[in-house]
Structure formats: C-alpha cells, structure tokens
Amino acid sequence: MTRPTAKAPTAATHAITSTPTPPSRRAPGSLTQVGGIEVGHFTDARRPTGCTVIIARHGAVGGVDVRGAAPGTRETDLLQPGNLVEQVHAIVLAGGSAWGLDAAGGAMRWLEEQGIGFDVGVGLVPIVPAAVLFDLPVGDARIRPDAEAGYRACAAASRQRPAEGNVGAGAGAVVGKLFGLHRAMKGGIGTASVTLQGVTVGALIACNALGDVVDPDSGRVLAGARTANGRALLDSRRAILRGEPLSPLLAGTNTTIGVIATDAVISKTQAQKLAQLAHDGLARSINPVHTLSDGDTLFALGTGQSGKTLGMMLLGTMAAEATARAVVRAVQAARGISVGALHLPAAAELAAPRARAAGPSR
C-alpha cells in the first residue's frame, strides 16, 4: 500500500481532539435509502481528511451541475446530455484539494476487480466522476486522499446508513471562513432523503462552505463565522451588509460537494436538471453560497429501481429539500476539533451560549 510521504505529526503541534456532539432529533433518512446506492467512507487518522464513495453497482444515469467558481472535478464533461456514456458506476467526493482526485483511480481499480464498468470490448472501464474540497489548512497538508484511500472507501461501502460529521470527505471540512479560519467552525458530511409516492430522493453533502450554514426553515444561523471573542455566531450575511471587513480570500479554498440520487426512472437530461435544482437546497442552507472561493458541485444519479416516474417539479422539490436537510445534518453531526492552536467548535458547542446570549453580537 502506497501512502503519502509526510513528516510524523507531533503532539504539540498537530494533536487532534474531538468534542462529542449529541445526535440530531430529526430522522432525516439517507442516500442509501435510494435503491441501488451504496456509500463508503475512508477517513485518514493522521489528520482530518478523507474521501467518500457513492457506488451504483448496476449503473446509474448521471448528471452534474457546477455553480461555484473554483471547482476541482474529474469526468464531468461525459455527464453532459449530448455525450456518449449513459451511465456511471461511482462518484468520489474527497478532501485534499486537487490531490484528492487521485482517490477516483482507486475506486476504478476496486470496481474493475468486481467486474463493474463500461464494456469497451477489450475490458471494462468503470466510469467514476469526482469532485474535491479544500481542507489542506487543517493539519499536515502533505497528507491527503490517494488511490488507496478511494479503494478502501469502496471496500467499506454498504447499504447501511452512512456515518456523518467528521468522516470521509467531511473529515477536514470547515464552515464560516469569511472572517478568518480562527473564527470558523467545524463542517462535515451529512445525508438525508425524502420519499413520495413510492419514489425516494436522497442527498449526501460534504459541507466545507466559505459561508454560514443556516436553518432553511427559520433562517437561523447554525454554524459559521464567530464573533471576535469566538463565543457566539456572527451571522456573515448581516456582517457583510454592515460593512465589516472580510479576511483576504483565496479562490478554491472552500467548496461544498455532494450527490443527489433517486430510484425514479429518469433520462440523462433529467439527471442534469435534477443536479441543477438540488443547488436550490444549497442556496437555502448556506449563505453566501456559490462564491468565487467555492467550487460547489452537485452530481445527480438515477438508478430507476423503483420502476416509477415522477414529474420534474416533484423530483426537483424533493432534491432541493433533501440537499438542504443534508447540509444541516453535516454541521449537526460534526464534532469540534483542535489542531495545534486552532480550535474549530461544532454547532452544538455554541448552541447553549447562543440561547443565553443577549445584547450586541460583536
């Protein structure tokens, strides 16, 4: 097994500690409730990073929509409706910035060993699009997902409800960085699903947003940039509109990525539209979103295993709802971490102080 060459972290500078977060009271469902979908995580114990693989063993119609201005992606052109390949076999979501795209090679190797892929006459070529997020500032940046990580995520895949929070592609995710990393909070990965008329639409989202995560129903900020003393949530949108100065931003150093899947029978064109509509869920739950410093990318898969069709109005509404719920789950399930002098609290850590807070938030 080939792993990245990295200097061993020292306890003084790179020790990672976690603060437990209680489970959500919501029963949100999951991406694996969609027939034909399996999910597996690989989390690198040497620092918070990893990858997540979404497998469709029997193939799935695929689509994609990229809204952020700084994406890191692989094999997205083939998902355009006018292009040849009709089905994909897995999607890889990874940390590690562009380095993390290597994880898709390991997923291909695992799928080929299982006899899964696009038949090209002389063999099978697994179709594995991928997207990455930027988690390099949290711990030793020389440690990032590679092909072996993608292989191991596939080996761990199952129909069980996926773990959430600080795992897989969400292991090193951080939210609310508009006013500096030292005032940000822990992001993560979350999942949810909606079922209507015998059809399920699910979402799995790794949230590493530049902006805040907000409750899509109430608009209340759940996690994001904190006040200067670090004890309360700032509300980035209102702070920007007040004219508060932002920290210098580097393009591509954030990004929310994910997969939406349904067991409805859909076409490749409809899969692309479903990915587009799912971004409405990001817009409801992240503010600001789709920025120049985010590479926000959503894939859509249709397994067709329900044998049913629904209109795109219903499927799109379900996709946006599942996506928004999965973003909320990502921060609800996250645990606070400390890496050297940097502490990134989880949403639950600020919940009690926020409830007691009175007076100005600055």
Domain that includes residue 179, residue range: 26-353
Q: Which of 85, 35, 30 is nearest to 56 (CA)?
A: 35
Whether 4 maps to a domain, the answer reads: no
Residue 362: its pLDDT value, please?
40
Alpha-carbon dihedral sign for residues 55, 59, 60, 64: positive
What is the CA 51 to chain-centroid distance, rounded?
10
Question: Mind giving me the DSSP string for 202-231?
Answer: EEEEEE--SSEEE-TTT--EEES-B-TTSS
Provide the number of structural domains found in the chain. 1
Give, in degrees to the nearest 5, the angle at Cα 70 between 181 and 236: 40
Whether 3 maps to a domain, the answer reads: no
Helical axes 347-356 vs 312-332, angle rounded to 10°? 80
Residues 137-169 as b/e (b if ≥16 CB within 10 A, e otherwise) read ebbbeebbbbbbbbbbbbebbeeeebbbbbbbb
Please, what are the averages of pLDDT over each run of 10 residues along the chain (362 residues)?
41 39 59 98 95 97 94 95 93 97 98 96 96 95 97 98 97 96 96 97 98 96 95 94 86 90 97 97 97 95 96 96 98 94 92 48 41
Domain of 347: which CATH number?
Answer: 3.60.70.12
Whether 21 maps to a domain, the answer reads: no
Q: What share of the chain is helix, strand, coil (3-state, %, to 5)?
A: 25, 30, 45
Whether 239 maps to a domain, the answer reads: yes
Three-state DSSP class for 102? helix
Residue 352: its pLDDT value, please?
52
Whether 301 maps to a domain, the answer reads: yes
88: tokens are 């994909």
Please check whether residue 294 is in contact with residue 209, taking contact to mean a CB–CB distance below 8 angstroms: yes
Alpha-carbon dihedral sign for residues 48, 46, 260, 276: positive
Whether 6 maps to a domain, the answer reads: no
Whether 1 maps to a domain, the answer reads: no
Residues 250-287 as b/e (b if ≥16 CB within 10 A, e otherwise) read eebbbbbbbbbbbbbbbebebbbbbbbbbbbbbbbbbb
Residue 17: its pLDDT value, please?
42
Whether 315 maps to a domain, the answer reads: yes
147: tokens are 């092909």
Please check whether residue 264 is in contact with residue 312, taking contact to mean a CB–CB distance below 8 angstroms: no
